[in-house]
Amino acid sequence: MLARVFVTLKPGVLDPAGKAVEGGLHSLGYSEVGSVRLGKYIELQVEASDPAKARARVEEMCQKLLANTVVENYRVEVG
């Protein structure tokens, strides 16, 4: 089963890399871009009998390792 994890910085946490990309887009003329926030996308192949169980396990992995919940939020998609 495929699990997809999106890790993003919490609102209010400074994102210097996102700012750099934002500046790059502005210099390309994409003036409609307000702000850019960079995050991480993680794919996991998980063995599980059903999606709910897979999700519960992956959420646990996010809490323990994949995200630092002091500064990051995460979202899990399964299947």
Partner 1 sequence: MRFGIVVFPGSNCDHDAYHAVKEVLGADAVLLWHKDRTLQGADVVVLPGGFSYGDYLRCGAIARFSPVMDEVISHARRGGKVLGICNGFQVLTEAGLLPGALLQNASRKFVCREVPLEVLNAGTAFTRKYRRGERIRIPVAHGDGNYFIDEEGLKRLEGEGRVVMRYLENPNGALHDIAGIVNDAGNVMGLMPHPERASEKLLGSDDGLRMFESLLG
Residues that bind partner 1 (CB under 8 A): 13-14, 16-17, 19-20, 65-66, 68, 70-71
CB atoms within 10 A of CB 25: 14
Distance in Å, CB of 20 to partner 1, minimum: 6
Distance in Å, CB of 21 to partner 1, minimum: 11
- Residue closer to partner 1, measured from CB, 19 or 53: 19
- Residue closer to partner 1, measured from CB, 33 or 71: 71
CB atoms within 10 A of CB 16: 7
- Residue closer to partner 1, measured from CB, 53 or 61: 61
Q: Concatenated DSSP letters for 23-72?
A: HHHHHTT-TT------EEEEEEE---SSHHHHHHHHHHHIIIII--TTTE
